[in-house]
A and B are shown apart, each in its own frame.
Chain A
Amino acid sequence: MYKKNSATYALLSHRPSTRRFRIALLAGALLTSAFSLTALAETAYVTNEKDNTVSVIDLNSMQVVETIDVGLRPRGILLSSDNKLLYICASDSDRVQIIDLATRKIIKELPSGADPEQFALHNNDRWLYISNEDDALVTVVDVETSEVLAQIDVGVEPEGMGVSPDGKWAVNTSETSNMLHWIDTNTNTLVDNTLVDQRPRHVEFSKDSRLLWASAEIGGTVKIVDVASKDVTHTINFAIKGIHPDRIQPVGVKLSDDGRYAFVALGPANHVAVVDAKTYEVLEYILVGRRVWHMAFNTDQSRLLTTNGVSGDVSVIDVDSLKAVNTVKVGRYPWGVVVTP
């Protein structure tokens, strides 16, 4: 059935002459799998607001393997589309820093306007939309030329920033005006506003760019906005047994690519709400660390990482079982997180 000189024959044969060959083959197979495991090791990067650092977590060992010094008060964090560059809002340094992930060194600094907090990268991988909290502005910067392309007036205390996956819209939230500001990315001008609940903190587009999820920290709600009409179509409320409603302050929102779940970080309620992304029904509340703010999925979206500011750690949620499975200590006041493959 098997040719006498074939590898399969060698593996199946019990003859002593072939034993050494079999061992070599097995060793080769083991080495290959070891290499592929290394290749699969995912890494999470977490901005620590009070430590002026970025913690690097190996998601295999769940250990902090490196801490990178960055500018003052690092908050917003995102990746280039090829996962090679890491962008950080160094809020009190008034700039955006770019870290090359191959060397984990800061290779470039971009002008950002004053006090950049959150930002979003256009799908052309060049235009960075930055909200300037103190100046009521959104600054658009070309990351290649470092040129400021536009500064757009928005509401008071701009915070959340999102760009639609199709690249047509940039949306900014202003914490004091309680509005979503719609910026047409073709002209980089403000074209519309949507009123939402008090203190909107974060926006997240659905994968098909048709819906926008916007959290309101003081309002305690998440609004679903139809991108075409810019109207609010649904409002999601949260209630956790034993926790005062004032503590329920939605901030970060993450949508799973399969369209099944939306995860909402509820701040000082120390819970992440799991929402059915189709029916908008809250399915579950998952206990994590203190003052949970932002979240990131790993590559295959089997795990969700949350930054817990007050307890200074990152919790890991298993998306299948919807349970928190681990918590890793990082620096002081972790703010945002991203994961690279």
Chain B
Amino acid sequence: MTPAAYLACLNGVLRREWLRFYQQRSRFLSALVRPLLWLLVFAAGFRAALGVSIIAPYATYITYETYILPGLCCMIVLFNGMQGSLSMVYDREMGSMRVLLMSPLPRPFLLVSKLIASALISLIQVYAFLAIAWMFDIQPPLWGMLAAAPALLLAALLLSALGLLLSNGIRQLENFAGVMNFVIFPMFFLSSALYPLWKMRESSEWLYWICSLNPFTHAVELVRFALYLQFNGQALLVCLSLLIVVTSSAVITFNPQHAAVRRAPGS
């Protein structure tokens, strides 16, 4: 296989994902509405108008809206990663995944291409969200927005890989509701996305430890620090190593026969 063949394949996967995203405008809208509701409704009700205590990477007092911005960026990425897993189940059921896997290129490459495609789509949504937040006067430094791109990409890859790994265990489309309840919500709520970890610690030491072990917390902190032009080595290390472990496990456990085998006798 020549490098050109690999590129052609990556290009094909990216374009398919883009076309799907472009055609499902309601999905884009819902991906934006969800974090905006949190930002403009939840944060407004929760409003800490007197300021959130200073914690790294912030140099001064911030509003609650400013605090939850990185968490909501990661929320978009999380939902997108999980929606990717949904599309994977759908693809397997409808057979389009088998078309992709007919490619002579190695399967890990095909899957990683799919992860990259899904991560890039997440990034578009995150920046659209940041642009809207900017209009509502929630403005991280401009250079920070740029610096956050690699952090967001890493977070998106990690969460997409996690979605892929999960989809390997899901047999049916309907099980996605279970993913929502048992993966997305706990991951989001048991993290530093909505409240600083020291605040968690005040209420329960156990909750604090669960939150600090949650990979989503590290993704959020990586993005939060990058948005304010600072580097969080620990978060980067955790995210990178998890990315490698989760992607490898997802690739190893991937079985395109799941749906086909199960359906074969009845069909």
Contact = CB atoms under 8 A, between A and B. Distances in A.
Interface of A: 240-243, 269-270, 287-290, 315-316, 324-327
A288 B50 contact: no
Interface of B: 47, 49-51, 54, 59-63
A270 to B, nearest CB: 5
A290 B50 contact: yes
Contacts of A315: 60-61
Q: Is the interface of A mostly helix, strand, loop or mixed?
A: loop
A325 B141 CA distance: 11
Nearest to B50: A270
Contacts of A289: 51, 61
A289 B58 CA distance: 13
Contacts of A324: 60-61
A327 B49 contact: no
A176 B20 CA distance: 71
B61 A326 contact: no
Nearest to B59: A326
A287 B51 contact: yes
B60 A327 contact: yes
Given A288-B60, A316-B60, A326-B60, 14 more contacts: A241-B49, A242-B47, A243-B50, A270-B50, A270-B51, A270-B61, A287-B61, A287-B62, A290-B50, A290-B51, A315-B61, A325-B59, A325-B60, A327-B60
B217 to A, nearest CB: 25
A290 B60 CA distance: 12
Instruction: Specify which of A241, A287, A316, A325 lies most central, judged by the most chain B CB atoms within 10 Å of its CB.
Output: A287
Contacts of A327: 54, 59-61
In order of increasing CB-CB distance, the 3 nearest A-B pairs are A242-B49, A327-B60, A324-B60
A44 to B, nearest CB: 15
Contacts, number: 36
Nearest to A313: B54
Nearest to B47: A242
A315 B47 CA distance: 21
Instruction: Specify which of B47, B49, B60, B63 lies most central, judged by the most chain A CB atoms within 10 Å of its CB.
Output: B60
Contacts of B59: 325-327
B54 A287 contact: no
A290 B49 CA distance: 11
Nearest to B58: A327
Nearest to B63: A287
A179 B220 CA distance: 53
A45 B62 CA distance: 25
A243 B50 CA distance: 8
A171 to B, nearest CB: 32
B196 to A, nearest CB: 16
B60 A243 contact: no
A306 to B, nearest CB: 10
Contacts of A316: 60
Contacts of A240: 49
Nearest to A329: B54
Contacts of B62: 287
A327 B61 CA distance: 8
B6 to A, nearest CB: 46
A244 to B, nearest CB: 10
A326 B58 CA distance: 8
Nearest to A242: B49
A288 to B, nearest CB: 6
